[in-house]
Structure 1
Amino acid sequence: MDAQKVDMYLMTNGKFFEGHQIPMIRERLLALDESRFAQLHAINLKDPTTILIVSIVGGGFAIDRFMLGDTGLAVAKLLTCGGLGIWTIVDWFIIMGRTREINAQKFFQLVG
């Protein structure tokens, strides 16, 4: 794929991934066919900042974990009232990284 297109994709979507993953993502994008580029825009990437806000507002009800697709953890968090509040507070610090992790998994599943 064209390097300019890859750089544009990374500028617009870089916040969805961890910083150390960007060089590997760039390599995969450069080796990707032009025809698969449209599929990249169809990936439902979650915004880490939005998930953090949801976690702060509704983390005790496990809304953040349900949004990420961590259904098992979400049910456990919901049943324990956010681990008596402790789990909710811990999630405020780790939920953005978990969101970027899930986004990277989706990306690498598509790209291969």
Structure 2
Amino acid sequence: MEKSPKSFIATLLLCFFLGGLSIHRFYVGKAGTAILQIVTLGGLGIWLLIDFIMIIVGQFTDKQGRKIKA
């Protein structure tokens, strides 16, 4: 599987510091789910936590489905 050109560190930091605004999802090109995450307040924080864990373990993907890995 092809690796995403998006930065692992940038995605991780954006999720940690600005996750409530879904900036990490906008960064990787997932604008639709970013807006949905904002409207639902990050699934009351659960969706945000899942995103953070998925980024850490290398399973978070960009818009084209490429994994963002360190």
CA RMSD of aligned residues (A): 2.5
TM-score (norm 1): 0.48
Deviations 1:39-84 (A, max 9, x none): xxxxx81111210111000111110001111111101101011111
Contact 1:48/1:97 (<8 A) preserved: no
Structure number with greater Rg is: 1
* Residues 1:48 and 2:8 aligned together: yes
Gaps of 5+ in 2: none
Q: Structure 2: which amino acid aligns with 1:98?
A: F
Aligned residues: 63
Gaps of 5+ in 1: 1-15, 18-43, 105-112
Give aligned-pair identity as a percent: 32
* Residues 1:97 and 2:70 aligned together: no
TM-score (norm 2): 0.73
Identify which of structures 1 and 2 has the higher relative contact order when contacts are C-alpha pairs closer than 8 Å and 6+ apart: 2
Runs of 4+ in 1 over 3 A off after TM superposition: none
More helix by share: 1
